[in-house]
A and B are shown apart, each in its own frame.
Chain A
Amino acid sequence: MSAQYVLSDLTKTYAERSVLNIADLSIQSGEILALVGPSGAGKSTLLRLLNFLEFADDGQLIFDQQVVTPDLPLAQRRRVTMVFQSPALLKRSVLGNLKYGLQLRGETASKAELLAHLDQVGLADLAQQPATKLSAGEAQRLALARALVVKPDVLLLDEPTANLDPYNVGLIEDILQKNNAARGTTVVLITHNVFQAQRIAQRTGLLVNGKLVEIAPTALFFEAPVEQATRDFVAGKLVY
């Protein structure tokens, strides 16, 4: 496995408040990495940096052996997509939303291919429906399909199942695992659900106060954590 991302002494500050300070982190190509931690730990900020929506104040972020700067070529940027906690969909049909990423890239797909993508997330029957009429679970599944249809090398997920019922959670986890196995898509998942991390992540990391406290293979992370903060977090205690 080669490194998809390498982060060195990466810092991000908002209004003189340091929100992220990662000394060293490598995210391997093709892995599913879960990041857990209390609210305000800097997890979402980290994802925004990995998605090139924002840029670090200091330190270095390397994406596929290329140093990330605001001038990162569009083709590189487009290798990464993200699914957010609350999906924002276009006022178009379900199919129209699915196609959007392809249209941006000047690519096309047959209707059969698109319907197959929707079928994967259980939305094929709703292809012509306005996306604004979807339930929360359906909207999140569409957001996932929209992010995957462009065949990204990296898929970032910011608490994608936080507001969903167990059926939708299971469906999304299944899609993530299948896509990772079939295409080798690198997945970085932020979750508050430690069981979710245990179910699907190959490695899990704990972020607290913008710092990466510990990162390890998921089984080790939960069964034999090294750091006290990780032990506390796994035990369900508050960590600050």
Chain B
Amino acid sequence: MEILVTALQEAWRLIISRDPVLFEIIGLTLRVTGSALLFAVVLGLPIGVFLGLRSKESKLGCLAPIINTGMGLPPVVAGLLVFILLSNQGVLGDLQWLFTPRAMIVAQTIIAWPLVIGLSLTAIRSVDDQLAVQLTSLGATRWQLALTLVREARLGIMAAVIAAFGRIIAEVGAVILVGGNIAGETRVLTTAIVLETRKGNFGLALALGLILLILALLANIVLHRLQHEGRHA
């Protein structure tokens, strides 16, 4: 209990003192997670919608288990793949992205991508099949139908975004592998927590953990508000 109180005091001190190192870490955390989420949504949502629409007409075959497996992809495996690809001997080694925030964004995108595909696919599939038939009967083209079904499934799609955000902001295995936890370069909240824990600074580690939780809470409040507005749109 005492360590928790100390951690709370430390977290509060770090925040009100506007500790520049802390704010740099928070900034990088949000930048990496936000970018990865954006890429995962841009790359994953169209695929999820397409597959969701297709699944209303025919079975997805082996795609469904592949996507489900991807949704449970261990972050450290994703990190390892990105590490191999971006290492000097790797296919993308010339990019020199290893141990930079870009590598961390790539790794987190790979982690979030199947989650966005799988959950948006489920959201589209859960829309009443009869609705698609009846909207077609009203004169909707395939494109108009797809857009309408996305709007109908917006709550489920927002849930996909929230789930993907939750997964990658708390992720440590991949970012520490491809980012290296370099101070001022690639240190994010999760990797900083690992470092401080290893150093025995449990109070500081816990304080960073609380800040991470607060950030996640704030982001989820924003996303839930958007979801709530979507419900009444």
Contacting residue for A88 out of B131, B140, B141, CB 8 A = B131
| CB-based nearest B residue for A84 | B134
User: What separation, in Å, do the CA atoms of A91 and B130 have in the docked complex?
Assistant: 14
Interface residues of B in 3-20 (CB under 8 A from A): none
A101 at interface by CB-CB < 8 Å: yes
Q: Please report whether the interface of chain A is mostly helix, strand, loop or mixed according to DSSP.
A: loop
Cβ-defined contact, B133 with A53, below 8 A = yes
A51 to B136, CA, bound (A): 9
Asked if A147 lies at the interface with its beta carbon under 8 angstroms from chain B, I say yes
- Give A45-85 interface residues, CB cut-off 8 Å to B: 51, 53, 74, 77-78, 81-82, 84
CB <8 Å contact, A150 and B139: yes
A146 within 8 A of B: yes
Asked if A53 meets B139 with Cβ closer than 8 Å, knowing A84-B130, A90-B131, A90-B148, the reply is no
Determine if A104 and B131 form an interchain contact, defined as CB atoms under 8 angstroms apart: no
A90 touches B152 (CB 8 A): yes
Partner of A74 from B128, B139, B152 at Cβ < 8 Å: B139
- With an 8 A cutoff between CB atoms, is A199 at the interface? no
What are the residues of chain B within 8 A of A51 when measuring CB–CB?
Answer: 137
Would you call B201 an interface residue if the criterion is a C-beta within 8 Å of the partner chain's C-beta atoms?
no
B91 within 8 Å of A (CB atoms): no
B211 shortest CB reach to chain A, Å: 37
When chains A and B are docked, how far (Å) is the Cα of A48 from the Cα of B128? 18
- Complex: A143 Cα to B130 Cα, angstroms: 13
Query: Is the beta-carbon distance between A104 and B139 smaller than 8 angstroms?
Result: yes
Q: How many A-B residue pairs have CB under 8 A?
A: 46
- The CB with the most chain B CB atoms within 10 A, among A78, A88, A90, is that of A88
| Residues of B close to A143: CB separation below 8 A | 134
Q: Which residues of A sit under 8 angstroms from B130, Cβ to Cβ?
A: 84, 86, 88
Q: For A91, what are the chain B residues with a Cβ–Cβ distance below 8 Å?
A: 152
Annotate B129-157 by CB proximity to A: 1 below 8 A, 0 otherwise.
01101111111110010001000100000
Q: Are the CB atoms of B139 and A88 closer together than 8 Å? A: no
Q: In the bound complex, what is the Cα–Cα distance between A53 and B233 (angstroms)? A: 30
Partner of B134 from the list A77, A87, A104, A150 (CB cut-off 8 Å) is: A87
Kindly list chain B residues whose C-beta atoms are within 8 Å of the C-beta of A150: 138-139
Counting CB contacts under 8 A, is A178 at the interface?
no
Complex interface residues of chain B between 43 and 85 (CB less than 8 A to chain A): none
- Asked whether, in the complex, the Cβ of A147 is within 8 Å of the Cβ of B138, the reply is yes
Contact of B138 among A74, A86, A92, A101 (CB under 8 A): A101
Quick one: which of B22-48 are within 8 Å of A by CB? none
Q: Which residues on B sit within 8 Å (CB–CB) of A101?
A: 138-139
Asked if residues A81 and B135 are in contact (CB atoms below 8 Å), the reply is: no
A132 to chain B, nearest CB (A): 11
Q: Of A53, A88, A92, which one neighbours B128 at CB under 8 angstroms?
A: A88
Could you tell me the distance in whole angstroms from the C-beta of B40 to the nearest C-beta in chain A? 25
- Nearest Cβ on chain B to A126's Cβ, whole angstroms: 16
Of residues 78 through 110 on chain A, the ones whose CB sits less than 8 Å from some CB of chain B are: 78, 81-82, 84, 86-92, 100-101, 104-105
Once bound together, how far apart are the Cα atoms of A101 and B141, in whole Å?
11
In the bound complex, what is the Cα–Cα distance between A146 and B134 (angstroms)? Answer: 11
Q: B138–A88 contact, CB under 8 A?
A: no
Indicate if the CB atoms of B138 and A104 lie closer than 8 Å.
yes
B residues within 8 A CB of A146?
A: 138
Q: Which residue of A lies closest to B130 (CB)?
A: A88
The answer for the CA separation of A127 and B127 in the assembled complex, in Å, is 23
Residue of A nearest to B137 (CB): A82
**Per-position contact with B for A206-238: 1 when CB-CB < 8 Å, else 0?**
000000000000000000000000000000000
Chain B 111-131 interface 0/1 with A at a Cβ cutoff of 8 Å (1 = within) = 000000000000000001011
Q: A88-B130, A101-B139 are in contact. List 11 more A-B contacts (CB 8 A).
A: A53-B137, A74-B141, A77-B139, A81-B138, A81-B139, A82-B134, A84-B133, A87-B134, A88-B128, A90-B148, A105-B139
Closest 5 pairs between A and B when the two form their complex, measured CB to CB: A78-B139, A88-B131, A88-B130, A82-B137, A101-B138
Show 25 A/B contacts (Cβ-Cβ < 8 Å), sorted by A.
A53-B133, A53-B136, A53-B137, A78-B139, A81-B138, A82-B134, A82-B137, A84-B130, A84-B133, A84-B134, A87-B134, A88-B128, A88-B130, A88-B131, A89-B131, A90-B131, A90-B152, A91-B152, A100-B138, A101-B139, A105-B139, A143-B134, A147-B138, A150-B138, A150-B139
